[in-house]
Chains A and B, each alone.
Chain A
Amino acid sequence: MRNGVEGESILQLILLSGNNFDELSATVNILSVFDKYLPKHIASLTIRTGIRDGRSVRYSGLRVIKEALTGHKGWQPIWRNPDPQPAYDYVIVGGGGHGLATAYYLAKTFKQSRIAVLEKSWLGSGNIGRNTTIIRSNYLLPGNEPFYEFSMKLWEGLEQEFNFNAMVSQRGILNLIHSDGQRDAYRRRGNAMLLAGADAELLDQGDVRAMYPWLNFDNARFPIKGGLLQRRAGTARHDGVAWGYARGADLAGVDLIQNCEVTGFRIEDGRVRGVETSRGYIAAGKVGVAVAGSSGRVMAMAGMRLPIESHVLQAFVTEGLKPVIDGVITFGAGHFYVSQSDKGGLVFGGDIDGYNSYAQRGNLGVIEDVAQGGMALMPMIGRARLLRIWGGIMDMSMDGTPIIDRTPIEGLYLNAGWCYGGFKATPASGYAFAHLLTTGTPHETARFMRFDRFERGYPIDEKGMGATPNLH
């Protein structure tokens, strides 16, 4: 049963009419227990309800108990591995967080069908699996903040929405303040956040000391004077987000095609007709590109140059330690931020390396810089041993803000320029891109993220750095 178009039985119509995992959960839980007694064709017709090939794929407490009692033999691969069809209405290039979220919302929210996601490697093999898992909506500018707050609200309902544990944990993010000037800037930012419907609290030194008494408050260069706290911010399980969207998209009929690299676009009379891939030509009504660090080289195949450079950002994790940091702390002045994973590792990072790179690994200079920042903020980190260092490729835009827009080529759409902030944006990015692909008009929170904003003189430059990608 694909795409919910072949009406056959009353039961199927009832089940499909809801088109919503949550409304049907009770039904499905009951069916999942008795499904082997159901006629095969009825059970197999109900993919959208959470039952596939006679087995429930919906997760619930009841399901866990049932599997525990039956030796965990009922767990199955959570998405299909289909071969590409010759043509689709929508082809999404890039099976990372943003591409999968786009496909999910296209199918689920915007009720589109005949959708494929093309991924050159395995699903979630790029930055969705390489980031430091922070979610937040603490931006300043009107072109950004409503979008990130929209994303924050989607995070808050995400696990119920796609029935997958993404371990969204609203443990709060604290931006440290070291000077009067910085306090003014953060007060302004906090007010901008409140105006956009987000939460923000300005803390004094005593408040910060109560939260994190072990911080180095008396650093000679950057004494801690306070902080800006967003309590609704936090972390999420990065891979879980990709898997949740992938599973949800697959259940809604999206073909997730792995090991399928796009090698070219077929463009006729200024309109995209399809994509050439390592698995043959695939015709497409609309093509949406969401490939983050690879944006430059993919769009070059369509003859386009982008306001983007690819840079490497490194991240670090220590051995597992007892709980010490229950939120996220950012030490912007010292190019350092840190949180603690549920496994106990301190997860931290700093600035991008600062030169063009596609290498997914960085250099020692920045590792030293980040370590020095960590030592300045919390000297006890010097006792922790590093377990891993890795790098991801950032699509650094010219103003530090993404692009979600159509391109001069009809039918070809671009979602790019996420810099080092793509993870938190995943839900809103997918939602807004799906909105654009379906309706042809930008989602209201993404309407400033235009491709032509540099030409028109409307960059969205949070830091006021100008067209210098390595400084955003």
Chain B
Amino acid sequence: MLIPHPLLGLRDSSEFTYLGDAALLDRPDGMAPDAATRFHDYVHLRDNPAGIHRELWFHEQGDRSWLIVTRNTITHEVLSAELSRDAMKGGAA
């Protein structure tokens, strides 16, 4: 799999480490009254879709940036990649 890094172009996926669903960027409020339940769901439960999946990849053997990669989990087709800091800035994560 080749990941189209927004700054470095096509990079082999073996340069990256994988964290999982990009929903992990959306951390629950630890001060909320139901924080324990929300953190359980956040840490342990996954949508695990067969199809389009937005996910976090860390360019560990490269520029050490975090990317949000949109990928098809049935075909391994990589549809897009963006810097997670840009996505966070836009509030789209």
Contacts and interface: CB of A to CB of B under 8 A. Distances in A.
Decide whether A and B are members of one complex: yes
Interface of A: 294, 296-297, 300, 305-310, 354-359, 363, 365, 398, 454-455, 467-470
A355 B46 contact: no
Given A356-B73, A358-B73, A363-B1, A305 B45 contact: yes
Contact of B46 (A307, A354, A358): A307
A356 B44 contact: no
A398 B44 contact: yes
Contact of B12 (A357, A365, A454, A455): A365
A356 B47 CA distance: 11
A357 B18 contact: no
B1 A310 contact: no
A467 B47 CA distance: 15
Nearest to A308: B48
Contacts of B17: 354
Contacts of B1: 363
A221 B25 CA distance: 37
Give the top 3 A-B pairs by smallest Cβ distance, nearest first. A296-B48, A365-B14, A305-B45
Contact of B74 (A296, A359, A468): A359
B80 interface: no
Interface in B1-52: 1, 12-14, 17-18, 20-21, 37, 40-41, 43-50
A32 B29 CA distance: 71
B46 A296 contact: yes
Interface of B: 1, 12-14, 17-18, 20-21, 37, 40-41, 43-50, 53, 55, 71, 73-76
Given A296-B46, A306-B45, A306-B48, A365 B40 contact: no
Nearest to B20: A309
Given A355-B13, A365-B14, A469-B20, A310 B73 contact: yes
A294 B74 CA distance: 12
A237 B43 CA distance: 38
A407 to B, nearest CB: 13
10 contacts: A297-B48, A297-B50, A306-B45, A309-B48, A310-B48, A355-B71, A359-B73, A359-B76, A398-B44, A469-B20
A305 B44 CA distance: 9
Nearest to A358: B50
B74 A305 contact: no
